[in-house]
Amino acid sequence: MRLYNFYFENIDGSNFDVENLAGKKVLIVNTASACGYTPQFGQLQELYEKTDRSKFEIIGFPSNDFGAQDPGSNNEIGQFCQKNYGVTFPMMSKTQVKGANAHPLYAWMKSETGEEPKWNFHKYIIDSNGNVLRSLESGVSPLDPEIMDWING
Active site residues: 35
DSSP label at 34? S
145 Cβ contact partners less than 8 Å away, ≥ 6 residues apart: none
List Cα–Cα distances, 40 to 31, 97, 125, 136, in angstroms: 9, 18, 16, 14
Could you tell me which of 63, 76, 74 has the C-alpha nearest to residue 121? 63
1 Cβ contact partners less than 8 Å away, ≥ 6 residues apart: 108
